[in-house]
Amino acid sequence: MAISFVVEKEVPGSLARAGRLITPHGEVKTPAFMPVGTQGTVKGLRPEEVREAGAQMILANAYHLYLRPGSHRVKALGGLHRFMHWEHPILTDSGGFQLFSLAATMSIGDEGVAFRSHVDGSAHFWRPEDSIAVQEELGADIIMAFDQPVGLPAPRERVEEALRRTLLWARRSLAAKTRADQALFGIVQGGLEEDLRRQAARELRSLPFDGYAVGGLSVGEPEDDMYRALEWTVPELPVDKPRYLMGVGLPRNLVEGVARGIDLFDCVLPTRMGRTGTALVPGGRLNLRNAAYAEDPRPIQEGCDCYTCRYYSRGYLRHLVLAKELLGLSLVSLHNVRFLVRLMESMREAILKGEFAAFVEKFRQEEGREVEA
């Protein structure tokens, strides 16, 4: 087993729990949020900064790194950890999501997907075996099964067809895997159909995956639908394996996800928001372009322990954002990563102290407040 997972504490009457995920590159205390390093870098941040912000594991994308610089090159340069100077846990996404959202898909069949690169238009064909081979070249601690997500809303027949293929590809991903030092997670699809989600989770749990992801959510559906899909799916998954909700990073979604039994999350939200000059604060967000901050000496968030809030005023950050200075984007992104990681740390602490229900109640009240800007 490449990884092991220990549940440290469960919340009575809830699926929420705190745990420890041990990987070849170190431990991840859960619940945890993974910043995204799409192309082998968490945008605008040094690895040391990401680590200092408390991030334990990051996500990188097989699709992007396959196209550029080429996964064989990453392998030739010592694998992804050494390549990007992040000697801590890494998870790679299988490319399924990117093939169906970013690339120009030319044909989809049970054998695989023909697509054109979004970078240079070149033609490629990926079978599940290709995704696994790419992820083995990259060498992350955790790799993902190749899947076919479906944008929502979608007619039941499309969801059914994609799920059938995803389950077929899950078995082929397992069979294709050769590296003993990598863990492989299965991905539960099934759209917003309760029976399909449950069936997918049951079928995947019968297979020897090291963990399970819930995919195909946070793709435009109402949030209550996302929560319902979790409530159908998570109870069907084994309690002794990590559970990962893909692509989710809004603070309230993290809290509601943990409350429904999720251990791991990833999202581009903190860095993408950072690049537009938008900062996460309790109960909302600050748009740092706002003229109100031009001479504001306060940090983004009073009391925040991040590097940005320790040394820089809203007035300075506004100046950097308006002047299109790289430092501004980096500093706001860094705060946002720290904000989400600290939220996860707070939830873990509340779970360990037996105070999670109170934490969730307080959080929901604060989320209801007026957004600051």
Q: Does residue 336 belong to the site contacting its own copies (CB under 8 A)?
A: no
Nearer to its own copies, 25 or 318 (CB): 318
Annotation says 266 is catalytic: yes
Answer for the pair 235, 267: CB distance below 8 angstroms, yes or no. Answer: no
Q: Name the one residue in this structure whose structure tokens are 């009391």.
A: 303
Between residue 302 and residue 331, which ones bind its own copies under the rule CB under 8 A? Answer: 311-313, 315-316, 318-320, 322-323, 325-330
Q: What angle do CA 170, 99, 136 make, to 5 degrees?
A: 55
For residue 96, the tally of other CB atoms under 10 A from its CB is 29
Q: How far is the CB of 47 from its own copies (least distance, A)?
A: 8
User: With respect to its own copies, which residue has the nearer C-beta, 292 or 358?
Assistant: 292
Can you tell me which of 6, 77, 104, 352 binds its own copies, judged by CB under 8 A?
77
State the Cα–Cα distance between residues 337 and 56, nearest whole angstrom: 12
Shortest distance in whole angstroms from residue 77 CB to its own copies: 5
Q: How many residues bind its own copies (CB under 8 A)?
A: 35
Binding its own copies (rule: CB under 8 A), the pick from 26, 78, 151, 155 is 78
Per-residue binding letters, 31-70, with its own copies (x by CB under 8 A)? --------xxx-xxxx---------------------xx-
Task: Judge contact between 355 and 370, C-beta under 8 A.
Answer: no
Please report how many Cα atoms fall inside a 13 Å half-sphere around the Cα of residue 220, on the Cβ side.
Answer: 8
What residues from 275 to 294 belong to the interface with its own copies (CB under 8 A)? Answer: 294
x-or-dash pattern for its own copies, window 237-276, by CB under 8 A? Answer: ----------------------------------------
Give buried/exposed letters for 276-288 (b at 16+ CB in 10 A, else e). Answer: ebbbbbbeebbbb
Assign 3-state DSSP to the chain and report helix, strand, coil percentages, each to 5. Answer: 45, 20, 40
User: Could you tell me which stretch among 76-84, 210-218, 220-228, 359-367 binds its own copies (CB under 8 A)?
Assistant: 76-84
User: Whose Cβ is closer to its own copies: residue 22's or residue 327's?
Assistant: 327
C-beta of residue 130 within 8 angstroms of C-beta of residue 67: no
CB of 273 to its own copies, least distance (A): 15
Cβ pair 197, 162 in contact under 8 A:
no
Residue ranges of E strands in 145-249: 183-188, 211-214, 243-245
Closer by beta carbon to its own copies, 40 or else 261: 40
Query: Does 79 interact with its own copies (rule: CB under 8 A)?
Result: no
Catalytic residue among 93, 141, 147, 263, which?
93
* Strand ranges, E, within the chain: 4-10, 17-23, 26-30, 32-35, 58-61, 90-93, 104-108, 113-116, 123-126, 142-144, 183-188, 211-214, 243-245, 264-267, 278-281, 284-287
Please give the Cα distance from 96 to 112 (Å, whole number): 10
Is 46 or 202 the residue whose CB approaches its own copies more closely?
A: 46
CB atoms within 10 A of CB 161: 15
Q: Does the active-site annotation cover 181?
A: no
Which x/- pattern, by CB under 8 A, does the window 80-119 give for its own copies? ---xxx----------------------------------
Residue 52 CB, nearest approach to its own copies (Å): 12
Alpha-carbon span 191 to 176, nearest angstrom: 26
Comparing CB distances to its own copies, the nearer of 46 and 364 is 46
**Is residue 73 a contact residue for its own copies (CB under 8 A)?**
yes
Q: Which is nearer to its own copies, 19 or 47 (CB)?
A: 47
Closer Cβ to its own copies, 46 or 353, answer by number: 46
Tokens 């969801």: give the residue. 159
Q: From CA 97, how far away is CA 248, in angstroms rounded?
A: 13
Distance CA 49, CA 47 (A): 5
From 225, 266, 296, 305, the catalytic residue = 266
Interface positions with its own copies (CB under 8 A): 39-41, 43-46, 68-69, 73, 76-78, 83-85, 294-295, 297, 311-313, 315-316, 318-320, 322-323, 325-330
Which positions are annotated as active-site residues? 93, 266
